[in-house]
């Protein structure tokens, strides 16, 4: 379960309350490009469509270097695969104001399937971000002393 791509900014900008693991619908050249590490989660976000499906938008997967005419579009919307009860649970939580669905990391499972870990969280305010930085600095100083 080695993460191929992490969204490091997400845990800093959002207070993640709950996480889900979703499959992701990809083309063959997208899988090859992700295995090489040519993906970016920094600007991506998830949304629920009108018919109850979960999609990820702005997930940048670079075109495969050896791809030909059948190469994929880098910024296309990709469908996330979750169970119905998980989708209903997400729909109930999203009805609260201020909750966002944020992609956290993209990895390959032990079976070789591409998985996307998503988190439900509220955006942090500036003072919360400063507190996170302060805690991180204190932890770093303690580790140095040890």
The length of the chain in residues reads 146
At residue 2, the pLDDT reads 64
Domains and CATH numbers, the chain: 3-145 (2.40.280.10)
CB 99 within 8 A of CB 18: no
The conformational region for residue 37 under phi > 0 = left, psi -120 to 50 = alpha, else beta, is left
At residue 76, the pLDDT reads 83
The conformational region for residue 81 under phi > 0 = left, psi -120 to 50 = alpha, else beta, is beta
At residue 118, the pLDDT reads 92
pTM confidence score: 0.78
CB 123 within 8 A of CB 102: no
At residue 7, the pLDDT reads 86
At residue 103, the pLDDT reads 92
Q: What residues of the chain score a pLDDT lower than 50? A: 1
Rounded to an integer, what distance in angstroms lies between the CA atom of residue 10 and that of residue 87? 21
Q: Please count the CA atoms within 13 angstroms of the CA of 115 that sit on its side-chain side.
A: 16
């Amino acid at each position: 379960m080695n993460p191929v791509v992490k969204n490091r900014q997400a845990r800093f900008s959002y207070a993640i309350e709950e996480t889900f693991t979703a499959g992701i619908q990809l083309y063959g050249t997208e899988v090859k490009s992700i295995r090489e590490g040519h993906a970016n989660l920094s600007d991506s976000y998830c949304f629920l469509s009108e018919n109850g499906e979960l999609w990820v938008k702005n997930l940048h997967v670079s075109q495969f270097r050896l791809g030909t005419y059948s190469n994929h579009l880098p910024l296309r919307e990709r469908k996330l695969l979750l169970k119905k009860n998980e989708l209903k649970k997400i729909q109930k939580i999203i009805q609260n104001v201020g909750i966002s669905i944020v992609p956290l990391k993209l990895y390959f499972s032990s079976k070789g399937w591409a998985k996307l870990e998503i988190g439900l969280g509220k955006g942090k305010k500036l003072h919360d971000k400063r507190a996170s930085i302060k805690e991180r600095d204190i932890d770093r100083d303690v580790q140095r002393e040890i």
